[in-house]
Structure 1
Amino acid sequence: MAGSTAKTVHDIFVNMEYGPAATSSAATAQAWLDHHSRSLGLFIDGKFVRPADRQSRSLVDSKGGNLCSTVCAVEDDISQCASSAVNGFKAWSSLTCYQRAKVLLRLVSVLGQHAQCLSELCDLCEASCSSSTLVRLLQFYSGWAQLRDTLITNWTPLGVVAVVVSDDCSLYSLMLKVLPALAMGNSVIVVPGRSTSPPALLLGQLFMSAGFPAGAFNVVTGCDMTLGAKVAKNASISYVTYSGNKQDGVTLCKATAGMGVPVSVSPCIGATCPFIIFESADIDSAVDGVIDTAFKKKKEVHWLLCVQENVLDSVVARLRLRMAGMKCVALPSDGDRALVEAAVQEAQQQGATLVQSCAAPPSGTQYPPTVLCGAAPSSSCVVNPSAGPLLPLLTFRSNTEAVALGNHSPHGQAASIWTEDLTLALETAKNLSVGSVWVNSHSVCDPCLPVSGHKDSGTCTDGGQEGLYQFLRPSSSSSPPLPRSSPVSMDYTKFGTAASPAIIPDDSDSASAPKPYLQFVGGKACKAVSGCSVAVQSSGASSVLAYCPDGGRKDVRNAVEAAIKVQPGWMKKSPSARAQSLYSLAKGLEAKKRDLAASINVQTGISLEDADREVELSIARLSDLAAYCDKIQGGTLPMLQSGSALSIPEALGVVGVVLPDKNPLLSMVTLLGAAIAGGNAVIMVPSQKHPLPTLAFVQVLQFSDLPAGLVNIVTGSRDQLTMALATHSVIKAIWYWGSSEGCQYLQYTCTSPLKTLRLFCQKDNMGKDWTHPSLLEEMWRNAVQWKSVWIPTA
């Protein structure tokens, strides 16, 4: 038709423009808010509660209009909520697995009836989560609720779980914590952020409609992140888990240090993730993926575009074509605009060139989507990206260089790889230190995918069967690892700085003089760097049994340097090869069993018969862990989409272990065997009270076929060596048995970078039953982290 402005199909394919966005209505959500007078209370004991004389917090929508207000809870509200949650746990956990699964499935139907209201409310609050995504979560975890006692035997729920999220966290990340906790039989107290408060309160109402017991699901809202610490302080809380940005997560960890409650964090906001395009990729699809994920109005992660040099010009040309005409993105404030402009200016000064959809307006909070081509790896837009629509582009030549760029970030959340070469994709995925890898795709989320936060991206696993264990404890555990307590007043800078006790020469003859021992670092028995020793007392503290080196920070540093050299090669060994080394270690232990039994007898004062029994159990324990090496190795996962989803257990890296006093040999070989069976290197600090069995074990290590530096033993003051382990940036995890002050110090200190902590407060030689066989699975799960790889086929 003459003069028609309608575009043909050919025009649309040439321009690759997006179609007009559908108009959205929020009438149902607005009506729900009006029903509550736009003043939302707390959700406690199955009903809305609005206490009098409480401060409120106003929420605004994306246009700046007043949306509603939420109550700021105080101590009395938290106590009421915790009491309700305890009763809710008793009622919820007393149901059979089938009954809990039935309630969760009923919630799917209820959610379907009110999907429009929830979806509209999420859009208004910018807490993105579709109702279909929630349905998938419910269906997946209702199945696990049904099969908990069948497939996860000898584990029991924790009790009351507090789920805390930051203001910028999505509803999906919140429910990825809530639903598995409920499926395993726990009750939940949700402490939502600003954007997730209204949807969480609506869900509380829907949960009750589905038949949840009163108190099984509770929501308390507040003014800031301090509410999470106030909830954790309540003695009824068994576990605290957090999702959101890292800054608020660190604040929560420090605020809860010393309370005796385990805290895990999943910093899912603000991480930098590599988007890697190889020359073998479908360039058009890859560029379309970049545009789709890098310039969203609200994005949870920052992307770093890495392009192979051979296809750089092709990628940049397609980026220019696809970005032409894209609208500016609104920034949160004028201050963010200034940060974006400063980052762009710095990148240009370092040689970067710009690809922009349009010219930046002279003022205001709008900024165009911008690609910084040729950005330097040290540029602030790469190392510390701002909140704006900036996409740094770096180039690489080889696969090795691509992996180096991808691992350059301190974060380890996810990566997107684009290539038609499957071998190259799998090799790259294996070498990237991230929790999720998407091949020829991006941002694929499904509850069946287990994802561990690598490096600075978390201390727990979410999703899949593996993510359920954070909400369970072994049935054999009669008490929690950390007794509830109030934080003590500590000067964290002085922890572990006390001088070692002085050694005074005695008049004994050389024949009866205490025997000197050596520590084990880098595959060699050696003295401490300081050259000093500490006395080892007998069980009655009446005489000196031996002298051992007084190790310190430099000894730990030398041990870490030896460990990081050998750990990558040990991790790459086949599971069967690691198993053979552990079997060999068990044989070496058997050859020295008389000496080790005598050492246990002299050190602890138990009978020779009991000491022999502990050695025999230690030999069997090493053999069991050797058998574990090639028995649990992940596998394929059932995804809704067409493709292959893989779950892969990986080593943590270098693990610091402060050993317990109880069963000094059996506990040591259990922790050592679990760590190296998972592919880790170990730095062990023997029990300060009973170090001799561990030091006698050095003879076994010297004649083993373990690589030099894989296992290191540093003796000395427990607090001083704990401080050295906590402040070393390379150590990825610390397993600690010691004082409550030491537990508090580690919780407060191990946040930059994040370390995975397993803390146990030992008093009066009580604690784990090291003879129980259930320890094998528990410790092995502590020794690995999980990676998911998604490969679409259509």
Structure 2
Amino acid sequence: METDLFIGGKWVPAASRFDVLDPSTGDVIASVADGTVESAIAAVDAAAAAAAEWAAQPPRVRSEILRTAFTLMTDRAEELAKLISLENGKALVDARGEVAYAAEFFRWYAEEAVRANGSIATAPSGANRILVTRQPVGVCVLVTPWNFPAAMATRKIGPALAAGCTVVLKPASDTPLTALAMAAILAEAGVPDGVVNVLPSRSSGKVVSAMLHDSRVRKVSFTGSTEVGRILLAQAADNVVNTSMELGGNAPFVVFGDADLDAAIEGAMIAKMRNGGEACTAANRFYVEASVASEFASRLAARMSALRVGPGTAEDTQVGPLVNEDTVAKVDSLVQGALSGGATATTGGSRPSGAGFFYPPTVLTGVAPDSPILREEIFGPVAPIVTFESEAEAVAMANDTEYGLVAYVYTTDLARGLRVSEALEAGMVGLNRGLVSDPAAPFGGVKQSGIGREGGHEGMLDYLESKYIATNW
């Protein structure tokens, strides 16, 4: 496959390259062109040159190109899944799920491309008409993480192209191969030269900053840590660049005593173990009513301990390695801190020896309320459990975080479920569901978990500006 930069519809070499590793072994699997500040400006040049013509394309033309991209992704689903597993480490079953999910963003925004509707009204005074049209924001910089290298790219590229924007995609340096494969698919689907540019780089801060300080760039969409998001927001302020931020999470998973425990365990396995726990939507803190806490913990530990850990590319693997050494070291540090604070590991709890960045599925009980593992995003297959006595206590503990991306609630009392869902400070709630992500739904958080929404009709509106025209006739 191509491993150079993709700029202006061409594969462009770079003066230096960097290695991509297999997380299962630590071995090098590819060498990729390392973009520079000069490469970034060249990508902006290409995106700016293509912008006017792409914005002028009929919505149906953009729609059909996105629909073709969906078809190509679907046809090559297995090839893409294996590539994701190879560079990211996730189990093939998760990688296949990601490809299906990622492709749906192209299909959804193929349908939304023809629905950038404006409005017309009479001013209350009767003096004029209020005509509102939608126009593309312009050149967009898209910065994506390593945990969903295909889905996070399509979730941004799909609505941007549907709206008539051109883009420069800066993928995570741990997983650039999937992004480059997406570039090839989009080119084959008929995306004109310069409309989509892909810029792998180890110098992420420098190249993104250079683009944000180019006056032709009018939007940045970032998915990643809150810490980096704060930096990008500050840089975007210099040129008042339109921003969308999908940042960190610290999702509470609340189980009430009246919950269907079978459903709660199934939901917990999805919310916690999807992608091996390396997801911003992953259940990070389990709050379980004291009356059912022991049973819930033992059943969850039994399910998690039965999962097969191994290389992501192996057919029978259910939990692959974490993405890199830093990630597995952080997870182990959080677990050891919780154990030192009095918690008990009912399964897992220590890093295995040997090659690769593996960590076993772990369930912790008796976690201290002030344990760092409850304050930080774990990003690994670890479930810390805390008990509660009342609904008010559960809501208070769940909201005691700077984050507010997603929360999960299990109860058979619908009134309670809706009441708690409203009280939780989160942009999304899974009520008796362990999975909330859907291309047709607005994905995003509150507090320090982000700004804006991706997915749904709202996702395309984030790439459009409303223009008001005052007129009479």
For the pair 1:111 / 2:73, whether they are aligned, the reply is: yes
Q: Distance in 1 between matches of 2:114 and 2:325?
A: 51
Q: Which residue of 2 aligns with 1:676?
A: none
Match of 1:229 in 2: 209
* Pairwise CA distance, 1:453: 1.7
Of stretches 256-265 and 169-178 in structure 1, the one that deviates more from structure 2 is: 256-265
Pick from 303, 308, 318 the counterpart of residue 289 of structure 2. Answer: 308
Residues 370 and 75 from structure 1, CA distance in 2 versus in 1: closer, same or farther, beyond 3 angstroms?
closer
Q: Does 1:82 find its partner at 2:82?
A: no
Structure 2 equivalent of residue 374 of structure 1: 366
The CA deviation string for residues 671-698 of structure 1, in whole angstroms up to 9 with x for no partner, is: xxxxxxxxxxxxxxxxxxxxxxxxxxxx
Residue 276 in 1 paired to residue 244 in 2? no
CA contact 2:408–2:430 (8 Å) conserved in 1: yes
Q: State how far apart, in whole Å, the 1-side matches of 2:169 and 2:350 are.
A: 44
Q: 1:473 to 1:372 in 2, by over 3 A?
A: same
Is 1:136 the counterpart of 2:104? The answer is yes
Equivalent pair of 1:169/1:195 in contact (CA under 8 Å)? no
Superposed, 1:497-536 pairs within 5 Å as none
Q: Amino acid of the residue matched to residue 463 of structure 1?
A: G
In the alignment, which of 161, 169, 182 is matched to residue 203 of structure 1?
182
Deviation at 1:340, TM superposition (A): 5.1
Task: Give the whole-Å Cα distance in 2 for the aligned partners of 1:335 and 1:73.
Answer: 23
Asked if the contact 2:7–2:46 (Cα under 8 Å) also holds between the matched residues in 1, the reply is yes
Q: In structure 1, what is the Cα distance between the partners aligned to 2:240 and 2:36?
A: 21
State the alpha-carbon separation in 2 of the partners of residues 212 and 276 from structure 1. 45
Is the aligned partner of 1:147 residue 2:139? Answer: no
Residue in 2 that maps onto 1:470: 462
Aligned partner of 1:74: which letter? Answer: T
Letter in 2 for 1:289: G
- Are residue 191 (structure 1) and residue 159 (structure 2) matched? no
Q: Are 1:266 and 2:266 counterparts?
A: no
CA contact (8 A) 1:165 1:242 kept: yes
Distance in 2 (CA, whole Å) between partners of 1:316 and 1:187 is 49
| Residues 49 and 434 of structure 1: CA distance in aligned 2, closer, same or farther (over 3 Å) | same
The equivalent residue for 1:96 is 58
Cα offset, 1:425, TM superposition: 1.1
Asked if 1:322 is matched to 2:303, the reply is yes
Query: In structure 1, what is the equivalent of residue 20 of structure 2?
Result: 59
Q: Deviations over 1:241-275 (max 9, x none)?
A: 1111223223333444423423332115xx21011
Residue 195 of structure 2 aligns with which residue? 216
Do 1:225 and 1:248's aligned partners in 2 also have CA atoms closer than 8 Å? no
Secondary structure of the 1:43 match is strand
Give the CA deviation at 1:219: 0.9
Kindly indicate whether residue 294 of structure 2 is the aligned counterpart of residue 294 of structure 1.
Answer: no
> 2:98, 2:148 within 8 Å by CA — same for their partners in 1?
no
The 2-side partners of 1:379 and 1:420 are apart by: 30
TM-score by length of 2: 0.84
Q: What amino acid is the match of 2:168?
A: I
| Secondary structure in 2 matching 1:476 | strand
**Structure 2 residue runs without a partner (length 5+):** 121-131, 310-318
The 1:460/1:325 distance shift into structure 2, 3 A limit, reads closer
Instruction: Structure 1 unaligned segments of length 5 or more: list them.
Output: 1-32, 478-771, 774-794
Q: 1:704-723 alignment to 2 at 5 Å?
A: none
Q: Aligned equivalents of 2:324 and 2:103: distance in 1? A: 35
Cα distance change, pair 165–131 in 1 and its aligned pair in 2 (3 A): closer
Offset at residue 299 of structure 1 (A): 1.5
RCO (CA 8 Å, sep 6+): is it higher in 1 or 2? 2
- Report the alpha carbon displacement of residue 159 of structure 1 after superposing the two structures with TM: 1.1
**Aligned match of 1:172:** 151
Q: Aligned match of 1:355 in 337, 346, 349?
A: 346
Deviation at 1:464, TM superposition (A): 1.5
Contact 1:277 1:306 in 2 (8 A): yes
Counterpart residue identity of residue 394, structure 1? V
SS at match of 2:167: strand
Provide the secondary structure at the position in 2 that maps to 1:451. coil
* Matching of residues 353-432 of structure 1 within 5 Å: 353-357=344-348, 367-384=359-376, 386-432=378-424
Q: CA offsets per residue over residues 524-565 of structure 1, 9 Å max, x none?
A: xxxxxxxxxxxxxxxxxxxxxxxxxxxxxxxxxxxxxxxxxx
Q: By how many angstroms is 1:215 displaced?
A: 1.1
CA distance in 1, matches of 2:86, 2:72: 21
- Partner-residue secondary structure (3-state), 1:456: helix
Task: Name the CA distance, whole Å, in 1 between partners of 2:111 and 2:380.
Answer: 41
Which residue pairs with 2:82 in the alignment?
120
Residues 351 and 130 from structure 1, CA distance in 2 versus in 1: closer, same or farther, beyond 3 angstroms? Answer: closer
Q: CA RMSD of the aligned region, Å?
A: 2.8
Structure 2: distance between partners of 1:336 and 1:466: 32
- Larger mean Cα displacement after TM superposition, 327-336 or 372-381: 327-336
Letter of the structure 2 residue corresponding to residue 382 of structure 1: L
Distance verdict in 2 for CA 1:77–1:322, change over 3 Å: closer
User: 1:327: how far off?
Assistant: 5.5
Q: 1:212 to 1:333 in 2, by over 3 A?
A: closer
Question: 1:60 corresponds to which letter in structure 2?
Answer: L
Between structure 1 and structure 2, the one with the greater Rg is: 1
Aligned counterparts of 1:370 and 1:475: Cα–Cα separation in 2: 52
Displacement of 1:290 in angstroms is 2.2
Shift of 1:305: 0.7
362-371 or 442-451: which moved more? Answer: 362-371
Q: Which digits, 9 at most, give the CA deviation of each residue in 1:300-319, with x for residues without a partner?
A: 24511111112122213323
Query: Does residue 239 of structure 1 match 2:202?
Result: no
SS at match of 2:433: coil
Q: Deviations over 1:573-596 (max 9, x none)?
A: xxxxxxxxxxxxxxxxxxxxxxxx
Give the distance between the partners of 1:70 and 1:362, measured in 2 at CA: 30
Shift in CA distance, 363/68, structure 1 to aligned 2, threshold 3 Å: closer
